[in-house]
Amino acid sequence: MPELGCSTISFRQRPVREALAVIRELGFDGIDLGGLPGVCDHIPTPLAGSADELVDVVRESGSRTWAINVDPGPLNDPRLDEHDLRDSGRELIGLAASLNAAMIVPCGAQHREPFVDEATDLDRIAHGLGLLGELAEQRGVRLLVEGLHHYRFCHTTERAEALLDRVPAAAAGFVFDVSHVVAGGFDEVAFAREFAERIEHVHLRDAEPGDINLSIGRGRADFAGVVRALREHGYTGRYVLELETHDVAEQDRPAEAAAARAAIAALLD
């Protein structure tokens, strides 16, 4: 059965040590460690010398870190200096290397409009991914890009495809987040088939058009269809629950995560 893990973003309101403990109590072995400004601060931004302490906390938890989910900067923003991108990239890649983890980065700034024009912005993102990919390769870290995000520059299947056309597989793999595809009004099963050759990591959360923050089973995502489509195209990678949901009380979140784990595990079995 493919491995099923949990992102610490699922418990973003809790300190990282507590979030890791809850995830282990729920029976998850693998994690994505979240560090996205405005979303989850389990990896501080900037990291500022806290990497060693964070690595110790994760190791003490007994969890295996599959990926760190971080933002080294808005890759399509002309104001992001290449020197600054290298500096932030090296620091985050160093953390990933210490945790034996991949590094997930977003597909541009947190808005949909280009800074210059669509093609120029896509070229700039691709250039940044190429730079980060080279740095990551030097440390034995796999770079992944969450190439379709409902609230980022690459928010459509067309932009996701155009980005991957510019970024060879050797430079970066692709993270498929089902909720962002559904929220954009796209067919998640057709998306899985179309992008299967590039997908290396899958995030699971439910959604409806315009809303990415629903618990598993409360939206319209066809998870069975997604799993089936990926299997048909040879996907044997990991699935990660990223339950940054807005439809449950905080005290109910562990129970909701347990229910989601059971539902998805049944599909993967």
CATH of the domain at 215: 3.20.20.150
In what helix (H) or strand (E) does residue 258 lie, and over which residues does it extend?
A: helix 253-268
Phi and psi at residue 52, in whole multiples of 5°?
A: -60, -45
219 token code pair: 């939206």
Specify the pLDDT at position 49: 83
Which residue in the block uniquely carries the two structure tokens 């155009």?
162
Closest CA to 71 of 19, 26, 47, 106: 106
Q: Answer whether 0.85 is exceeded by the pTM.
A: yes
Burial of 108 from C-beta contacts in 10 A (0-12 / 13-18 / 19+):
buried
Q: What's the structural domain count of the chain? A: 1
User: pLDDT tens-digit profile of 165-190?
Assistant: 999 999 999 999 999 999 999 999 99
Q: How many CB atoms sit inside 10 A of residue 221's CB?
A: 23
Average pLDDT, stretch 34-58? 94
How much of the chain, in percent, has pLDDT values that exceed 90? 97
Q: Within 13 Å of residue 63, how many CA atoms lie on the same side as its CB?
A: 33
User: pLDDT tens-digit profile of 74-119?
Assistant: 999 999 999 999 999 999 999 999 999 999 999 999 999 999 999 9
Q: What is the rounded end-to-end Cα distance, in angstroms, of the chain?
A: 5
* Domain extent at residue 36: 4-268
What is the band of 48 on the pLDDT scale with cuts at 50, 70, 90?
confident
